[in-house]
Amino acid sequence: MTNLGTHYAAHVAQLQQRTKQVLKRENLDGLVIHSGQEIKVFLDDYGYPFKANPHFKHWLPLTNITNSWLLVNGEDKPTLIYYQPVDFWHKVNPLPISYWNEFFDIKILTVASEVEKLLPYDKKGFAYLGEHVEVAKALGFSAVNPEPVLSYLHYHRAYKSAYEFECMRQSNQLAVKAHLAAKAVFMAGMSEFDIQQTYLKTLSYSENDTPYGNIVALNENCSILHYMVLERNKPSDPRSFLIDAGANFHGYAADITRTYAFKQNKFAELIARMDQLQLNAIDGLRPGKSYVDLHIETYAEIGQVLQEFDLINVDANIAVETGIVSTFFPHGLGHHLGLQTHDVGGFMADERGTHINPPAAHGFLRTSRVIEANQVFTIEPGLYFIDSLLAKLKDSPQASMINWQNVDQMRPFGGIRIEDNIIVHQANNENMTREAGL
């Protein structure tokens, strides 16, 4: 914690600076940032799990407080309007006493609808940032999530502060602890559901506390990229285990994947080779390089892996040129990571938000931006045996380039993904996931 406190002042100073810049550019007086409010299920009086506005939790580690507001203008001490109702139906969160308190002028709001009294009287010159457009309009804001303001903030969010690095190291440490516990119960033959319970229990998490829905897949299910089912029965023949699961710390996500083989076999060898490939990709993450180029280089190395493992009977180059590799690696190499698992700003070439699409052949890639120091990425190459994609390939002119018998041997294992979280520093990369012991 002390480390966090040390870096926090500089973090806030940086946000103040960015706010000042964007307000000046857009001719505004201030930003009014809404944490959000509970969203009710249609025709029901129960709400969905609350997720705070990322622009709100960028400033301070309050991730579960509804109806709260930040007023910032880049010059004055920011105001925090903290919602603390008198409510005998729900647990009320008192204001936490923490290192960040002194950076805000804190006002307590007891009745959500009375926030108006604490907001600027004249809304002209103030932009509302948040999800509830109808609330903003009712309060009299005419500038609601102005696109130039969001673009500026999203572009700069890719550059993380030392405070944010520390938060993400912590979220990685949490996730790694749970990954290790999950691996142990896979090796004990447990079901997907029990592995998930072990993961959550290790972190004292409920399902809503993870940054994204965990993927916990055994055997063939490892081939389903967003597998969300949790099979309750133990596998009769455990072969493989893919777990894509994260953790949160102060609103910052970890996003980590591992794949394990139950026995030492060909699939285990393929995992070891993919691990090497993933480390090669991480090594290629360098300031000044385009993430698109790194993806394309890794794509080519997957072609080599297909050749080395006799999954194809043509040269790796042919597998790349014909696009066969996409059958086995149908997603992007990774993405920006931070307040959101798929963090914003990945397609922006500049602070105006000029959008750059990834090349058409790699349309699923989530960033087209040049890699720079202080950015945080996932690197997550995969190699899968996906029935629907293999069926399409079998029906194509390239079908004869595949050693189907070897491919069929791998189908029962589903596939492999290995995902780490990396800080790009000027002089080196910091693999937070491996340094946390995974």
Rounded CA separation 115/85 (Å)? 12
Binding mask 174-213 for ligand GLY (x = CB under 6 A): --------------------------------------x-
Closer by beta carbon to ligand GLY, 83 or else 384 = 384
Interface with Mn ion in residues 162-221 (CB under 5 A)? none
**382 and 217 Cβ atoms separated by less than 8 Å:** no
Residue 341 engages ligand GLY in binding (rule: CB under 6 A): yes
Closest chain position to ligand GLY (CB): 244
Rounded CA separation 345/33 (Å)? 19
Q: Which residues pair with 32 in a beta bridge?
A: 71, 128
Interface with Mn ion in residues 396-435 (CB under 5 A)? 419
Tokens 């995969």 — which residue?
382
Assign 3-state DSSP to the chain and report helix, strand, coil percentages, each to 5. 40, 20, 40
Q: Which does 421 bind (CB under 5 to 8 A by kind): ligand GLY, Mn ion, none?
A: none
**159 and 178 Cβ atoms separated by less than 8 Å:** no
Nearest-approach distance from CB 102 to ligand GLY, in angstroms: 36
Interface with ligand GLY in residues 305-324 (CB under 6 A)? none
Closer by beta carbon to ligand GLY, 192 or else 380 = 380
Rounded CA separation 173/436 (Å)? 5
Q: Which does 197 bind (CB under 5 to 8 A by kind): Mn ion, ligand GLY, none?
A: none
List 244, 301, 343, 351, residue binding Mn ion (CB under 5 A):
244
Q: Which does 212 bind (CB under 5 to 8 A by kind): ligand GLY, Mn ion, none?
A: ligand GLY
| Region for 345 from its dihedrals, namely left if φ exceeds 0, alpha if ψ lies in -120 to 50, beta otherwise | left
List 194, 220, 255, 343, residue binding ligand GLY (CB under 6 A):
255
Closer by beta carbon to ligand GLY, 34 or else 157 = 157
Task: Considering only the stretches 144-152, 361-369, 373-381, 399-407, report the one whose residues sit in contact with Mn ion under the rule CB under 5 A.
Answer: 373-381
Select from 404, 420, 50 the least CA-distant residue to 255: 420
Nearest-approach distance from CB 380 to ligand GLY, in angstroms: 6
Residue 380 engages ligand GLY in binding (rule: CB under 6 A): yes
Select from 109, 53, 120 the least CA-distant residue to 80: 109
Residue 255 engages Mn ion in binding (rule: CB under 5 A): yes
Tokens 């130039």 — which residue?
148
**241 and 218 Cβ atoms separated by less than 8 Å:** yes
Interface with ligand GLY in residues 76-135 (CB under 6 A)? none
Q: Which residues pair with 419 in a beta bridge?
A: 257
Tokens 């890719």 — which residue?
158
Q: What three-state secondary structure class fits 18?
A: helix
List 68, 240, 378, 421, residue binding Mn ion (CB under 5 A):
378
Q: What three-state secondary structure class fits 340?
A: coil
Q: Which residues pair with 247 in a beta bridge?
A: 254
Closer by beta carbon to Mn ion, 154 or else 417 = 417
Closer by beta carbon to ligand GLY, 22 or else 281 = 281
Size of the site for ligand GLY (CB under 6 A): 6
Q: Which does 343 bind (CB under 5 to 8 A by kind): Mn ion, ligand GLY, none?
A: none
Binding mask 219-248 for ligand GLY (x = CB under 6 A): -------------------------x----
CA distances from 124 to 31, 187, 198, 438 (A): 11, 61, 52, 51
Select from 383, 376, 366 the least CA-distant residue to 295: 366
Size of the site for Mn ion (CB under 5 A): 5
Closer by beta carbon to ligand GLY, 164 or else 380 = 380
Nearest-approach distance from CB 337 to ligand GLY, in angstroms: 9
Beta-strand ranges (E) seen in 92-236 are 105-109, 126-129, 143-144, 215-218
User: How does strand 126-129 pair with strand 143-144?
Assistant: parallel
Closer by beta carbon to ligand GLY, 19 or else 214 = 214
Nearest-approach distance from CB 417 to ligand GLY, in angstroms: 8
CA distances from 4 to 166, 184, 313 (A): 7, 32, 54
Closer by beta carbon to ligand GLY, 77 or else 177 = 177
Interacting residues toward ligand GLY by CB under 6 A: 212, 244, 255, 341, 380, 419
Interacting residues toward Mn ion by CB under 5 A: 244, 255, 257, 378, 419
